[in-house]
Amino acid sequence: MVDLSTLDISLIILFFAITLFIGIYVSKQSGKSSAEYFLSGRSMPWWLLGVSMVATTFSTDTPNLVTDIVRNNGVSGNWVWWAFLITGLLTVFVYAKLWRKSKVNTDIEFYELRYGGAPARFLRSFRAVYLGVIFNILAMAGVTLAAIKIGSVMLGLAPIETVLYAGVITVIFSALGGFKGVVYTDFILFFTAMAGAIGAAYYLVGLPEIGGLESLLQHENVADKLNILPDFSNTEALITLLIIPLAVQWWSSWYPGAEPGGGGYIAQRMLAAKDENHAIGATFFFNIMHYALRPWPWIIVALASLVIFPDIASIQEACLLYTSDAADDL
């Protein structure tokens, strides 16, 4: 467990208190009607919705995923998800306006209007089972495992404690505040998470073992990981990291925020926009932040980890030392 000061603990408590306060504060207005609860009265500006879209696709396991990709395949390995920018831009320039123009309350309601009858019921049932049960359980398992690890290392919490504390607070502010409470909280969560990511990158680059950004980029463990594009002479890497994602994966895979047409995460926010232009602006802002800006602090952290922990053995050694220190503290 990391030794936390009184200020650290106070900030953590303040953070959770603010999220709860937001849910309680907006609950009265959100409860006026279903349109207010699910769409905040279709009155949201593009910048607030755009930030909410980015925050919604930012979870405890996301930095871990990017770190693993960079350590194993270099910066170019991120094309396995950068390729989804294609569907993201289609959403911006084609689907955003259509979603807002539809005036439905949820993407599920759209299926009823589009197909009707038995086909619509089958599609809703299939999505409920595949996305709502199978896919989401697998996705949330990964997110929860990452949260448990962070809670254990940073706060010394047992797995059940991490799940209960985070789960109860999230359910309360979401249930009370509705869509408006979620969006307002997303705004705070995004800047908190980005401050942490940028702070971590800045701290690591300043370590004596790293010696600054220039030294990091010139380090022997890092130099061959910096290419933005895959090595075109390596056929296997080229097919895996670039050709398949660009040719197939961007339209055939379900990925939060990048599904063809937007998907539930993004569609709900487009539907809540003030008008069609705000829906377009929100999705455009999301794609810029999601693909072009947000990953780079994580990438720097991943590259720095190659210097501090060049291989699995060094990571295991550090874990053993941490476990030993934690046992001594007990």
- Report the DSSP beta bridge partners of residue 44: 273
For residue 294, what is the domain's CATH number?
1.20.1730.10
Query: What is the tally of structural domains in the chain?
Result: 1
Q: Which two tokens stand for residue 160?
A: 């059940």
Residue 229, in any domain of the structure? yes
Residue 297, in any domain of the structure? yes
Residue 1, in any domain of the structure? no
Range of the domain at 244: 6-329
Instruction: Give the C-alpha distances (Å, rounded to integers) separating 294 from 56, 196, 225, 254, 262.
Output: 13, 12, 19, 21, 19
Predicted TM-score of the model (pTM): 0.85
Task: Write out the chain's pLDDT in tens, 330 residues.
Answer: 567 788 888 888 898 899 889 988 888 888 888 888 889 989 999 999 999 999 888 877 788 889 999 999 899 889 888 888 877 888 888 888 988 998 888 888 888 888 878 888 888 888 878 877 888 888 888 888 888 888 887 788 889 999 998 888 888 888 888 999 999 999 998 999 899 899 999 999 999 989 999 999 999 999 999 998 887 787 877 787 778 777 776 666 666 666 666 677 788 899 999 999 999 999 999 999 988 888 999 999 999 999 998 888 887 777 776 666 555 555
- Angle of helix 107-114 versus helix 263-271 axis, rounded to 10: 90
Residue 305, in any domain of the structure? yes
Answer whether 311's CB lies under 8 Å from 71's CB. no
Residue 246, in any domain of the structure? yes
d(CA 315, CA 37) in angstroms, rounded, equals 46
